[in-house]
Every structure is written in C-alpha cells, then in structure tokens.
Amino acid sequence: MILRRVTKLLPSVAISVLFFFCARDTFAQAVLFQDVRVFDGLNVLPSTSVLVEGERITKIGHGITPPPGAEIIDGTGKTLLPGLIDAHAHVFGVALEDAIEAGVTTVLDMFTDPNMAAAVRKQQEDGKMLDRADLYSAGILVTAPGGHGTEYGFPIPTLSDPDSAQSFVDARLTEGSDYIKIVYDNGHIWGLNLPTLNKAELKAVIDAAHKRDRLAVIHIGSLEEARDAIEAGADGLMHAPADIAGDAAFAKFVREHHAFVCPTLSVILSATGGSNASMISDTNISAYASPFAIKNFQRSFPTHPGETANFAAAQATTKALQLAHVPILAGTDAPNPGTAFGVGLHRELELLVGAGLTPPHALAAATGNAADAFHLHDRGHICAGCRADLLLVSGDPTTDIKATRNILAVWKRGHKLDRTAYLAKIAQEHENTLKASAPAPTQPKE
C-alpha cells in the first residue's frame, strides 16, 4: 500500500469477507491452439501450436495432432499468453473473481486477513477455485507500533524489538503466510512522520524469514529506504522509490544483490497527483469493470504539506532497473485509489511501457518474472508440463501493450472461464447502482 493517512479504504469487516462461488464446470476439454502467436513468459514465438490436455500444457510446436474431441482454435491474428500475475494487491470481497475475468489467474497479496487467506488456500488445494484467481498471501505485514499498516481500523500485531523478529515471523508462518511483507517507510516523502522499523529490526526480520526459507519483500517509499532494504538482504522491493530517481549505480546495486522490484507505477501515479481514469473510457475495460472499479479509477489520494514524492522518479528508477536487468514485476496495489482488481493490471502494463520497458519486458513482468521471483514454478510460462492458466487476446500485445485488453478467453487449469455470465452480472450491478443513485420521483401536487 502507498503510505497515506486516508479515510479507511475498506470497512473494518470487509477485509475478512470473501464470497465463495462454485466452480462453473468440472471437465477440462482438450484444446489445440493452431498457428497462434505465443508469448511464453519470456520470449515471443511468432507462430506455433499449443496443445492443452486436462490441466496441463502437453505439447508446443508444429504438426501437433489433437486427441479426439479436442477444441481447435485458429490462432490467426491472436496471441496466447500465460495467465497474468498481479504481484501486489490486497485481497478482499470478490477480488479474486474480478481478477480472473481480466486474465489475472494468480494474485500475490501483500496484506490481508490471514483467516480469509487460509480459507481460500484450502479451496485452492481442494481444486475449487476454477472461477477465481489463485491467492498467495503475506497475511499480516511486519510494521512498527503506529506504523503504516496500523491505520485501517482493525488491530494487528507489531514489532518493536529485533530479538522478537523470529517469533514474530514464525507466528505469521503459523497463520499461513507464504512470504513475509515488511514495512520500512517513515512517510517523509508523503509529508508524514510515522514510526517505522529501525535497521536492526529490518535486518532481523529479513534474516528470520530466510531462516525459514521464505521470501522477505519490503514496502519502501524513498531511495534511501530502498538502499537500506537491499543492503539488509531483501529479496524484493514492493514499490519503486518515489522521491529521488535511482540511477545506474543504484540499479547495479540491486542487481548485484539478486533482488527484484515491483514498481506499482499506477498507484504511485495516483498518489502523486496523476490519474488512471483513462481506463474507464476503454470499452474493453469498462464493460468488465465493476461499479467499485469504475469509481476507484477516478479516485486519488489526499495530499500533505511537505511531500517530495513524484511520479517521474519512480518512472526513471524503473527504467534504470530494467536496463540493469533487474527483474521487474507488475503489481497494482489494488484496491488503493486509482487502482482496481484485475482490470487495473492492464493499466500497470501500459505504465511500465511508458517508463521505458518494451512490451515483451512488460508482459514478462506480469508472467514469467513474477512466477520466477516467487518460486511459482508451475505457472507464468507456456511450456510443456506447465499449468494451463492461459489468456487469449486479439492482436499483438508484444508490439502494442494495450492489446492485452482485447480478451477473447481465459483458462484456468485448462478450464475455460464463462466470461459471458460475468459480463451480465457486472451489467446488472451497474444498473442497480444507477437505480440507487437516481433521484426519488416527485409527488404530483394535489
């Protein structure tokens, strides 16, 4: 989350609520994509064929003979991608359903109710998540008393002693955290003055996570905080520094420490006076965007005196990191103002390209890079043996990144999503919203 003192983004009870939906089907039909452009998670294959049998991709190449009864999809003019991965979100409500409808088949949560996350993970393990994105979660983040993460209306444990770091981390892992998210941000670049962990506590938590073979990812705001986090052994940064642009030397420093960075440009843009409202005028997006998403794309953060954060610094840092071959990950930080679950990731890809990444590099940020960084070896790539989490789009997003929005179909574990039903549901939600906001009819005068 971008560090702001704002009115609660979510009702205190909403973060612990998730609506469960039954899987829409139970049989995965074999599918052969013929002569389709493939982005395999890292590279572009101009024209090839991909066979899916059951929940896995089984063959890639030319001259593939499909099994009897297989669906044959002509790939002419189309691109097949791995299901997208949002590497930074905060899951609640119907977030995972909204995500998958936009082609996001996996969400990496960076702070939510661990009880909800554990319940979702149990459903994943039982194979009951075919109509929702998979969830991996940090659960409760690690922050100082009164620090960022404590302002959302519900109590969380905090850390104030490096000697308690291992027990704190172990408690998170017992709750089901897949990795450890740490806040190291005093809020100064946002015009705030908040408690945060000191360097000793930061390093102790990172070491504690690594002792249990878990990733430690760090929320930072400034370039100085980013340097401290990398020096302390962080596996990744969950925002780009937004005060001073990181130069080639900083990028080399990150690369030498084998860390990755998830810039979250869309939320930084929203937090520094910019807007992501252009998303609501894109008909490929608006038709599948809930009323909440439409409203949230138009929201922005409040400002504070003394802010030094600026979007140009985050952009320049992202470009320097890419030039230094630091793995870049795509993340929205939804549902912060200016973001949305699922559809918001397509805006993040656009902004990554705007910061200097090529379209294939941006696509890798939302597929192969994210899967590799979080050791999700069964997804994020199109390869024989990989899960058949797939996104088929019209056009060529390897040259025009906005083509990711031209979604033709989404598959999770080989099961094709019923996006038509979701479209009807969203249309009904918009109709209900309009009715609720309509003025009451006036009574005729007697």
Q: Residue 20: which pLDDT band, with cuts at 50, 70 and 90? A: very low
Residue 409's closest CA among 58, 18, 6, 75?
75
Query: Would you say residue 402 lies in a domain?
Result: no
Contacts of 19 (CB under 8 A, 6+ apart): 93, 94, 97
Give percent above pLDDT 70 in the chain.
92
Query: Would you say residue 440 lies in a domain?
Result: no
Given a cut of 60, whether residue 444 has pLDDT beyond it is: no
Q: Residue 22: which pLDDT band, with cuts at 50, 70 and 90? A: very low
Alpha helix stretches (DSSP H) within 152-198: 165-175
Query: Would you say residue 435 lies in a domain?
Result: no
Least confident of 6-10, 262-266, 387-391: 6-10
Query: Would you say residue 401 lies in a domain?
Result: no
Residue 148: burial class (beta carbons within 10 Å; 0-12, 13-18, 19+) = buried
Least confident of 2-6, 12-16, 233-237: 12-16
* CATH code for the domain of 220: 3.20.20.140
pLDDT score for 440: 61
pLDDT score for 5: 40
Contact 202, 195 (CB under 8 A): no
Given a cut of 90, whether residue 404 has pLDDT beyond it is: yes
Query: Would you say residue 234 lies in a domain?
Result: yes
Cα 268 to Cα 301, 309, 348, distances in angstroms: 10, 9, 11
Given a cut of 80, whether residue 386 has pLDDT beyond it is: yes
Q: Residue 19: which pLDDT band, with cuts at 50, 70 and 90? A: very low
Contact 103, 366 (CB under 8 A): no
* Domain extent at residue 364: 14-20+84-376
- Backbone conformation region of residue 98, classed left if phi is above 0, alpha if psi is from -120 to 50, else beta: alpha
pLDDT score for 9: 38
The two three-digit tokens of residue 54, written as one number: 């059951």
pLDDT, one tens digit per residue, over 70-126 is: 999 999 999 999 999 999 999 999 999 999 999 999 999 999 999 999 999 999 999
pLDDT, one tens digit per residue, over 318-344 is: 999 999 999 999 999 999 999 999 999
Query: Would you say residue 253 lies in a domain?
Result: yes
Query: Would you say residue 41 lies in a domain?
Result: no
Cα 340 to Cα 101, 345, 379, 391, distances in angstroms: 12, 8, 23, 19
pLDDT, one tens digit per residue, over 143-197 is: 999 999 999 988 999 999 999 999 999 999 999 999 999 999 999 999 999 999 9
Q: Residue 441: which pLDDT band, with cuts at 50, 70 and 90? A: low
Given a cut of 50, whether residue 260 has pLDDT beyond it is: yes
Query: Would you say residue 165 lies in a domain?
Result: yes
Domain count, the chain: 1
Given a cut of 50, whether residue 16 has pLDDT beyond it is: no
